[in-house]
Structure 1
Amino acid sequence: MHFQKSNNIKLLLCSLISLNLFANEFTLKEDILSDTRQRSFDLTQKKANEDSAKLKKDWINPITYTYTNNLGEQYRNEKSVISINQPIFQSGGIYQAIKYADSTYNYSTLEIAQQRKNLIQTATNYLFLIKKTNLNMQKAELSVLNAKIDVNRKKEQVLNGFLDSSFLDNALLALNSSKHTLIDLKYQKQELINNFHNISSKKYTEFTLPTLKIFNEKEYMDNNIEIKKAKADITRKDNYAYVTTAKYLPSVNAFYTYTNNHFKDGYTTKDNAQSYGLTVSVPFDVRTFNDIESKKLDYLKSKLDLQNKITDEKTFFKSKLEKINMIEDRINITKEDLAVYDSILSIIYEEKEAQLKTQSDLDTLQNSQKIKALDLKVFEIEKQIELLSVYAKLH
């Protein structure tokens, strides 16, 4: 019966498509990040914008102005020269250079978005871990209560000669271990809070945990930021390969020079002159083939990287789904255990009323049932953590 139920749950998980994953972003947005971290990302994005704009204009040569003041003994004069040497045709290189700038911007924007999303995921993960630690602390406190009850029970049995003192020693060791576990958990919680505040300037208690749900593989692959980055990288390297090739193809430049002489000492030579025209350049470089081939290989490698990335992401999604299925199996087992506790507790309660069991027997079993109920909540948190790692890869 259990295996049939487990298989049904797995099939249900595989078939679920939830738009809630995108709707439940709640504070998984930027407000979880501190102001300084948000500004850092904003400045990085602005820099990417400026770098892209500069890259688009890289094919435009600067206008040069030269001023000369000759102080020689034979003659003295001042001269101003304005010169322009601008490519107007580069065998398609100008168009590809602009496309390369756009594709570089797209890649950089995706990379910044990924870094931002990863940091948001890290902060949110701390919130989940804090919640999980709180639940484990509650479990530890219940374990301490049960250990104290067991110590009292063993102490009474040893004093009455029913047990050897070694049983009391073991009970004391178990109590001591439970107390140390609780202390460790308190430290872990504070460490998680400190780590969270490294990222966020708000108190962790100001945030509400999301409820993320599973979705299908196609939805994951279509919105995967790693795959989108790999595709953007292909486009970028394709454009750059063409830009590199165009460097070694014929180009046409328009030039213009204007000279203004400011003569002194009585010279009457013409004050200014100008020249303009076109030049055709055909570069010859022994490194041409190697440079072009290197960029082509880089482009071909990026296409292979995409295929590898698709395989990696499919495996990642499959592994996460299997992990979630495993957690679901644990949840089902725990629910079955809780049902058993319910039936036993009803019997223990009746026996206590009949004075066949003590209050400590009832308290121990009730505490154990509460621990199992907390286990359910811990498993739910673990499932959300797994889903969060998937969500962080969506764009």
Structure 2
Amino acid sequence: MLKKVAFLSLPLLLLAQNGLISKLKEQEIELDKKKSIVEAKILHDSWINPINMRYTYQKGDQYPNQLFKSFSIQVDQPIFKSGGIYKAILYANAKKRSALFGVQSKEKSYVFRYIRLALQYKQLQLSIKKQKLLIENAKLDILIKKDQYLHGEIDSTFLDNAILNKNRLAIALIDLEDKLQQTKKEIKNISDLDPDSAQIPRFTLIQRAEFLQKNLSLKQSQADIEANKNYAYMSIARYLPSLSLFANYNSQKMQGSLYVPGYKYSDSYKTYGFRISMPLFDINALRNIESAKIDYLKSKNHLLQLMREKRNFYKTSLHSLKLLDKKIALTKEDLGLYEGLLKDTKDRFEAGEKTKYDVQIMQNSLKTKELDLKIFDMQKQIILSQLYQEMSDEKI
């Protein structure tokens, strides 16, 4: 029976620092984070205009006795854009959240790709053990069929089928061993850690409400909506009145002139004030505003579609987990049956009614069922890890 229990939350940073992903991948993620933060700071302060300085030194052969120097500092800073400055700051903050959620999603994709590959690797190891037991049983079956054939109890068809079955199982084992090596090679592409010694966290099921509330993609989409909403207002504010303060400091010096070589002149002055401005006509004004509003509506539509996809993803995962629970329940029933059969076979062997081959076959069959339980558990962990990969465990 599938139980909904609290989710075992392990910080993403802890998983990464445990060496699940390579140092190069960690450096890539760290650089992505730094770039997102720097770009967000650029957006946050983009409304602040630069302070310009200009220095001129002029001397030429047209007036060889004349030297001209000038120095100026100019400040022209908008302080009010009908709410546009405030919205620009909110826009920058929303873009930062969206970018960091994107980086976190990328980091989780690396970490959980390793986790799934490691789980698949361990699952293949269990499948190989199971396959070897099946091959051993097939070989024992050949010995039994051979003895029966030589004693005239069965015809050669039964012996041929037993040999064919053993060969089929042996070929399947080769395929499993090849898959194991391929999986190990994929692991080495993203991690320096040997999967044989990896400590994989164990996951349990999270409630659907929490899955949707903390979903990374949904959080990023919500941040995009907030960003597009603020950008739409910024587009409107661009065509509304704005107030700017300006100030200039100028200094000029001139030495010599065409007629008076010893002439000197110097002066410095300041100007300051404010400016109110507003565009009176822009043919694309309404189109720019409409385009920004459409982007905002598109981001809201995208969130609704994404919400549907995540609900279906959770529903499908839950269905897969329930099917695995049914397989586990059936396997446990079979396990109980084989335990009884093994005891009965041993008793009959002691009584001379069964051979040692029969006992070995039953022991191997019991072990295969125990391995099946472990394999099904691995499959459940893979499904649960896919759910947790979707979750945000950092407040951004």
Q: How much has 1:370 moved relative to structure 2?
A: 1.2
User: 1:249-271: per-residue Cα shift (whole Å, max 9, x none)?
Assistant: 11122222222223122444443
Amino acid at match of 1:389: Q
Distance 1:77 1:102, change over 3 A: same
Q: 2:120 aligns with which of 129, 133, 136?
A: 129
Rounded Cα–Cα distance in structure 2 between residues aligned with 1:313 and 1:93: 35
Q: CA deviation at 1:27?
A: 6.1
The equivalences for 1:86-125 within 5 A come to 86-125=77-116
Helix, strand or coil at the partner of 1:271: strand
- Give, in whole Å, the separation in 2 of the partners of 1:392 and 1:360: 48
Q: Take 1:343 and 1:263, find their aligned partners in 2: how far apart are those partners? A: 112
Amino acid at match of 1:156: D
Partner of 2:268: 272
- Which residue is equivalent to 1:189? 180
What is the distance in 1 between the residues matched to 2:308 and 2:180?
37
The equivalent position to 2:376 in structure 1, one of 370, 375, 379, is: 379
Name which of structure 1's ranges 159-168 and 191-200 shifts more when overlaid on structure 2. Answer: 159-168
> 2:335: which partner in 1?
338
Amino acid at match of 2:41: A
| Cα deviations by residue, 1:209-256 (Å, 9 ceiling, x for unpaired) | 332212321222222112211211111111111122211211122222
Residue of structure 1 in register with 2:322 after alignment: 325
Matched, 1:392 2:389: yes
- Aligned equivalent of 1:212, options 192, 203, 214: 203
Contact residue 70 and residue 252 of structure 2 kept, 8 A:
yes
> Partners in 1 of 2:11 and 2:49 — Cα distance?
50
Q: Pick from 12, 28, 31: which aligns with 2:15?
A: 28
Equivalent in 350, 354, 357 of residue 353 of structure 1? 350
- Three-state SS of the structure 1 residue aligned to 2:192 is coil
Deviations 1:333-370 (A, max 9, x none): 11111122122222222222222221112211221121
- Confirm or deny: 8 A CA contact 2:254 2:266 kept in the other structure: no
Shift of 1:141: 0.7
Alignment map for 1:246-325 (pairs within 5 Å): 246-265=237-256, 266-283=262-279, 284-325=281-322
Residue 374 of structure 1, CA deviation: 0.8
Aligned letter for 2:226? Answer: T
Unpaired stretches in structure 1, ≥5 consecutive residues: 1-8
Q: Say which is worse superposed, 45-54 or 303-312, in terms of deviation.
A: 303-312
8 A Cα contact 1:261 1:271, kept in partner = yes
- Offset from partner CA, 1:82-136 (integer Å, 9 cap, x none): 2222112111111111111111111111111111112111111111111101110
Other-structure match for 1:84: 75
Deviation per CA, 1:34-53: give whole Å up to 9, x if none. Answer: 22211221121111111111
Query: Partners in 1 of 2:55 and 2:266 — Cα distance?
Result: 17
* Cα distance in 1 for residues equivalent to 2:12 and 2:57: 67
Whether the 8 Å CA contact 1:25–1:210 is kept in 2: the answer is no
Rounded to whole Å, the distance in 2 between the matches of 1:160 and 1:343 is 30
- Taking only aligned residues, the RMSD between alpha carbons, in angstroms, comes to 2.0
- Deviation at residue 76 of structure 1 after TM alignment: 4.1
The structure-2 alpha-carbon separation of the partners of 1:351 and 1:27, relative to structure 1 and needing over 3 Å to count, comes to: farther
Checking the alignment, whether the CA contact within 8 Å between 2:22 and 2:190 is kept in structure 1 is yes
Determine the C-alpha separation between the residues in 1 that align with 2:251 and 2:10: 68
Distance in 1 separating the partners of 2:186 and 2:333: 37
- Alpha-carbon separation, structure 1, partners of 2:323 and 2:335: 19
Distance 1:26 1:336, change over 3 A: farther
Q: Is the 8 A contact 1:24 1:212 kept in 2?
A: no
Extract unaligned runs of 5+ from structure 2.
Answer: 257-261
Q: 1:79 to 1:26 in 2, by over 3 A?
A: closer
Q: Say which of 153, 156, 163 aligns to 1:172.
A: 163
SS at match of 1:22: coil
Q: Would the alpha carbon gap of residues 201 and 311 (structure 1) be closer, same or farther in structure 2, given more than 3 Å must change?
A: same
Say if 1:259 and 1:267 are closer, same or farther in 2 by CA, change over 3 A: farther
What is the distance in 2 between the residues matched to 1:139 and 1:94?
A: 67
Amino acid paired to 2:179: Q
Q: Does 1:369 align with 2:366?
A: yes
Are residue 142 (structure 1) and residue 139 (structure 2) matched?
no
1:61 and 2:52 matched:
no
The corresponding residue for 1:3 is: none
The one-letter amino acid paired with 2:150 is L
SS at match of 1:191: helix
Is the Cα contact below 8 Å between 2:255 and 2:265 reproduced in 1?
no
Q: Which amino acid aligns with 1:374?
A: L
Count matched residues. 382
**Match for residue 38 of structure 1?**
26
TM-score, length of structure 2 as denominator length? 0.90
Identity %: 34
Paired with 1:350 and 1:268, the residues of 2 have a C-alpha distance of 124
